[in-house]
Amino acid sequence: MASETYRYPTAISRLSEGEMSREPQNARALRWLLDQSGGPVVLVTPRKQVPGEVLSRFATSSGIVHRSWRGFSSQSLAGGRVVYAWPDRQHLNDLYGVDLDALVVIEWNELETAEWIEDANPVPLLNGSTIQPSARDRESPASDHLPNGVEAILKHIADMAAGYSSGLKWNEEDKLKADMMNRPQRWEPITVEQVRSKCRELGMRPNDVDTVAALVRRRKDGGRFNVRSSYRTFHFN
């Protein structure tokens, strides 16, 4: 099943209750991926050395491309069927916009995969069962309206970021920092969670969502920003 964001089949292999080893979890991921049609099969692991018999044997199989994180670009996966073993949040974020034929994630930490699961709506691969995710309404419920002009600011930031292939630019980030510094009362009632939810609703790239949310978090924790002189006195209307 594909989502609006990930327009190719996606699945996630999760450690199931009662399993004492990750070998069945790994095997489920490989079986699912090999059942998908498409381009070359690529295994991505954090390091070249692969723990576990199932994956280590798969990595050295004929026709399998094995890549590790060092010197790795997610764009190099385009057109492939990918087994992504134990990715962290950042590596999942970097898959945004990469045109794959199929992707299966082997989960290690639920906190790292939580938002990717919401975006990708993958097939959960569990011990003894493959659960098809329920179809989602095309119209997702809107998040709360953000007061004090913050919603309009985030909409502007999202629109500007969408115009660039690499996402949010430094000048838009500096404008946001300057507004938080120069109009602190505007941001006082806004939570980090509200900002994150609104940014995701506006379709921002995962990396940009993290950037904006981190700025709000830092300011609420009492942090200050270094803003370039051209934007030091800037604030949104």
Q: pTM for the whole thing?
A: 0.78
Q: Is 74 helix (H, G, I), strand (E, B) or coil?
A: helix
Q: Which of 98, 130, 162 corresponds to the end of one domain?
A: 130
Same domain, 63 and 126: yes
User: 65: number of CA atoms within 13 Å, CB side?
Assistant: 13
Give which of 13, 5, 10 is closest to 102, Cα–Cα: 10
- Could you read off the pLDDT of 187-223 as tens digits, one per residue? 999 999 999 999 989 999 999 999 999 999 999 999 9
Instruction: Determine the Cα–Cα distance for residues 71 and 83; give it in Å rounded to an integer.
Output: 18
**Does 145 fall in a domain?**
no
Q: pLDDT band at residue 128, thresholds of 50, 70 and 90?
A: confident
Give residue 185's pLDDT. 96
Same domain, 70 and 156: no
**Does 91 fall in a domain?**
yes
pLDDT for residue 132 is more than 90: no
Same domain, 156 and 106: no
Same domain, 155 and 126: no
* 51 close to 23: Cβ distance less than 8 angstroms: no
Structural domain including 125 reads: 10-130
Residues of 176-210 as b/e, b for ≥16 C-beta within 10 angstroms? bbbbbbebeebbeebebebbbbbbbbbebbbbbbb
**Does 3 fall in a domain?**
no
Q: pLDDT band at residue 131, thresholds of 50, 70 and 90?
A: confident
**Does 122 fall in a domain?**
yes
**Does 125 fall in a domain?**
yes
**Does 99 fall in a domain?**
yes
Same domain, 29 and 88: yes
Same domain, 174 and 73: no
Same domain, 119 and 155: no
Q: Which residues contact 62 (CB under 8 A, 6 or more apart)?
A: none
User: Using N-to-C axis directions, what is the helix angle for 150-162 and 192-201, rounded to 10°?
Assistant: 40
Same domain, 155 and 120: no
Q: Where do we find the tokens 């095997």?
A: 27
Q: Which of 101, 130, 159 corresponds to the end of one domain?
A: 130
As a whole number of Å, the end-to-end CA separation of the chain is 43
Q: Which two tokens stand for residue 156?
A: 């502007």
- Could you read off the pLDDT of 45-83 as tens digits, one per residue? 999 999 999 999 999 999 999 999 998 999 999 999 999
Total structural domains within the chain: 2
**Does 203 fall in a domain?**
yes
**Does 2 fall in a domain?**
no
41-45 and 10-13: which strand pairing? unpaired
Same domain, 26 and 111: yes
Instruction: Determine the Cα–Cα distance for residues 181 and 186; give it in Å rounded to an integer.
Output: 10
Same domain, 15 and 124: yes
DSSP 151-205: HHHHHHHHHHHHTSTT-S-HHHHHHHHHHHHH-HHHHTT--HHHHHHHHHHTT--
Same domain, 18 and 97: yes
pLDDT for residue 4 is more than 80: no
Same domain, 108 and 196: no
